[in-house]
A and B are shown apart, each in its own frame.
Chain A
């Protein structure tokens, strides 16, 4: 597709379960970002991948959160032992490179933890 694709679009899970969210960036974009958007709030940076470099994990809120990017393309964000405060929309974005600025966002994965 032409844009950033995220799945699932909606996920409802029980407290304590693990979840995986997937992001398929725009082809040719070397930079990939994960952000979190809580209800009525701004976006919170989580993690950034650039090519084959070590990811910038400085925004991950706890060690229950992890992400990987395989083959420089698809990325998976994993949240272990989910808590109710993890409920949010998780947005993925890609850009041509880390210094080019414009982020192209997907439509997000809405996570609800019961």
Chain B
């Protein structure tokens, strides 16, 4: 089955700096790669996703890049703000035509943005 590794497990940055979180996956048939943000006591919330026919996607301060050959994808947050502090999860899915909601998640990155 699919295996997703996520690094780093914790990331501390100063407000205004950039943050980068990296993930690798094992199943070359995976074709859907979402990123979720989870705040304390809440369920995860989708912040951006990318499909395997695209190499990069950007939404305001957030961008995701995908390297299918190397089987890794990354989340980039620019101009970080204290409200970006949360746990971020990468995930992979869609292999073999399975539901895009049946995902294998990484272990999470605790991002702390210091004012």
Give A residues with C-beta under 8 Å from B. Answer: 4, 31, 33, 40-45, 48, 50, 56, 59, 91, 93, 95, 98-103, 105-108
The residues of A that contact B44 with a CB separation of less than 8 Å are 43, 91, 103, 105
Query: In the bound complex, do residue B105 and residue A93 qualify as a contact, i.e. CB atoms below 8 Å apart?
Result: no
Determine if A98 and B43 form an interchain contact, defined as CB atoms under 8 angstroms apart: no
Q: Are A43 and B89 in contact (CB under 8 A)?
A: yes
B46 touches A102 (CB 8 A): yes
| Interface, chain B (partner A; CB < 8 A) | 4, 6, 32, 34, 36, 41-46, 49, 89, 91, 98-108
Docked pose: A44 CA to B89 CA in angstroms: 12
A sample of 29 inter-chain contacts (CB < 8 A) reads A31-B101, A42-B6, A42-B105, A42-B106, A42-B107, A42-B108, A43-B44, A43-B89, A43-B91, A43-B105, A45-B102, A45-B103, A48-B101, A48-B102, A50-B99, A56-B102, A59-B102, A93-B101, A98-B100, A99-B100, A101-B49, A101-B100, A102-B34, A103-B34, A103-B44, A103-B101, A105-B44, A105-B45, A107-B41
Task: For the complex, give the distance between the alpha carbons of A101 and B103 in Å.
Answer: 10
Which A residues are in CB contact (< 8 Å) with B106? 42
CA distance A100 to B46 in the complex (A): 13
Check A101/B105 contact, CB under 8 A, given A43-B44, A106-B43, A108-B43: no
- Assuming the contacts A31-B101, A48-B102, asked whether A101 and B34 have C-beta atoms less than 8 A apart, the reply is yes
Question: Are A107's CB and B42's CB within 8 A?
Answer: yes
CA distance A91 to B105 in the complex (A): 13
Q: Is the CB of B101 within 8 A of A33?
A: yes
